[in-house]
Homo-oligomer: A and B are copies of this chain.
């Protein structure tokens, strides 16, 4: 017997027919003798609808009242799943965030402070299943709180930790985590195992299967996660710690996956004089405006000579960023602001890189062989990222996927 949290996203809860197939899956898990708590999202599109209503009601809406409105979507699906399970003869009950309670601080993007699972222990003792709305909690002042978009993944992981579950299964509309986007590389392989850190890097560079925050939380408490399809009956991808990996996967590739992120825009400040505080004067106002700056590249040929400063920001923040930089033009003294949105960040990710020096070199070489120009480079312990012209996206991903031995072997 195991304790399992099963989490289903909005696509899986979109309408009674889909809720019925979710219920079938939950029943099957319970019939294997497991203690099951289910965390559900609102029906696909419902949270957007509710957010839109708040925005129409007032441009600057009260976060507390926003939470009252948007928390209702998960309330509806929780009740409907409990009804559906009961209709199949399965003992089930829903428990709202304020009923357990799921204690949270703040509004709109509240943090979970703790979950009282005493009531769930009773439910399991009686052979029942608990259905719990994701995305919501209750504050110390007894006010409804929501966790921010995608927060249901975090609800599921937090509940799994509080319940001391053996595993948290995240059911979604893909079969797991892939070595790269299968729409670009048909021979992409579903990964059986990835580490939390790899998952964080893969998610932050565009392979958005799980909310980053939920992966960080699972990592901190070493809660095993599984990403799997709610529509097909197959094992998915297990997300585990480095330790858990040891010995299990001797022949694992050094590179685990190739990710890409189209949501980056490049800004270059040309002929920037080499003055003390010049670079700081550019980035300070961006930080003050909460604009996320990612890849930063500057090479000063010799001390005192002017140079170009290149960096990337999210495409949606580009015009905002340019306006902020214009304000410091005189102070910084650069010549021109050049921008480019037709760029893409491509990254090779893998914990194996730590003990393998040649990955970056191999990446540059592979791209150079195909004549792909690199506009910027950043590296971390388990990731090498390059910025390239968007036109080369598919080519770059394919050649890297192949060069790092990730292509699925097929027998013809």
- Per-residue B-contact encoding for A25-57, CB less than 8 Å = 1, 0 else: 000000000000000000000000010011011
The reply to whether the CB of A86 lies closer than 8 angstroms to some CB of chain B is: yes
Assuming the contacts A57-B19, A98-B98, asked whether A79 and B87 have C-beta atoms less than 8 A apart, the reply is: no
Interface centre among A64, A79, A142 (most CB of B within 10 A): A79
Q: Which 8 pairs between the two chains have the least Cβ-Cβ distance? A: A58-B87, A68-B79, A69-B79, A72-B72, A57-B83, A16-B56, A65-B82, A65-B79
Chain B residues with CB under 8 A of A57: 16, 19-20, 80, 83-84, 87
Smallest CB gap from A75: residue in B: B72
Would you call A59 an interface residue if the criterion is a C-beta within 8 Å of the partner chain's C-beta atoms?
yes
Bound: A20/B104 CA distance, A: 31
* A61/B87 in contact, CB under 8 A: yes
The number of chain A residues touching the other chain, given as a range, is 35 or more
Q: Give the oligomeric copy count.
A: 2
Q: Which of B53, B60, B86, B144 contacts A62 (CB 8 A)?
A: B86
Judge whether A187 is part of the interface by a CB distance below 8 angstroms: no
A354 CB to nearest chain B CB (Å): 49
* In the complex, A93 has a CB within 8 A of chain B: yes
Q: List 7 A-B contacts (CB under 8 A).
A: A62-B86, A64-B93, A65-B80, A66-B79, A66-B83, A69-B79, A69-B83
| Residue A385 is within 8 A (CB to CB) of chain B in the complex | no
* Contact between B94 and A76, CB atoms less than 8 A apart: no
Bound-state CA distance A11–B82 (Å) is 30
Query: A87 contacts B64, CB within 8 Å?
Result: no
Q: Does chain B have a CB within 8 A of A237?
A: no
Using CB atoms and an 8 Å cutoff, list the residues of chain A in contact with chain B: 16, 19-20, 50, 53-54, 56-62, 64-69, 71-73, 75-76, 78-80, 82-84, 86-87, 93-94, 96, 98-99, 142-144
A61: contacting residue among B61, B73, B83, CB under 8 A? B83
Starting from the known contacts A58-B87, A60-B87, A62-B86, 17 additional A-B residue pairs (CB-CB under 8 Å) come to A16-B53, A20-B57, A53-B80, A58-B84, A58-B86, A61-B83, A61-B86, A62-B82, A65-B80, A65-B83, A65-B86, A66-B83, A72-B73, A75-B75, A96-B144, A98-B98, A99-B142
The prevalent SS among residues of A at the interface is: helix
Nearest-neighbor residue (CB-CB) of A74 within chain B: B72
**Chain B residues closer than 8 Å to A16, beta-carbon distance:** 53, 56-57
CB contacts (< 8 Å) of A142 on chain B: these are: 99
When the two chains form their complex, are residues A62 and B83 in contact, meaning their CB atoms are under 8 A apart?
yes
Q: Are B72 and A76 in contact (CB under 8 A)?
A: yes
Question: B residues within 8 A CB of A99?
Answer: 142-143
Contact residues in B for A78 (Cβ distance below 8 Å): 68
A81: shortest Cβ distance to chain B, in Å? 8
Distance to closest chain B CB from A180 (angstroms): 39
Partner of A53, one of B71, B76, B96, B143: B76
B87 contacts A80, C-beta separation under 8 Å = no
Whether B96 lies near A68 (C-beta < 8 A) is yes
Known contacts A68-B96, A98-B98, A99-B142, A58 near B75 by CB under 8 Å: no
A65 to B143, CA, bound (A): 22
Shortest Cβ distance from residue A27 to the other chain B in the assembled complex, whole angstroms:
13
Q: A120 to B60, alpha carbons, bound, how many Å?
A: 25
A61 to chain B, nearest CB (A): 5
Residues of chain B within 8 A of A56, CB atoms compared: 16
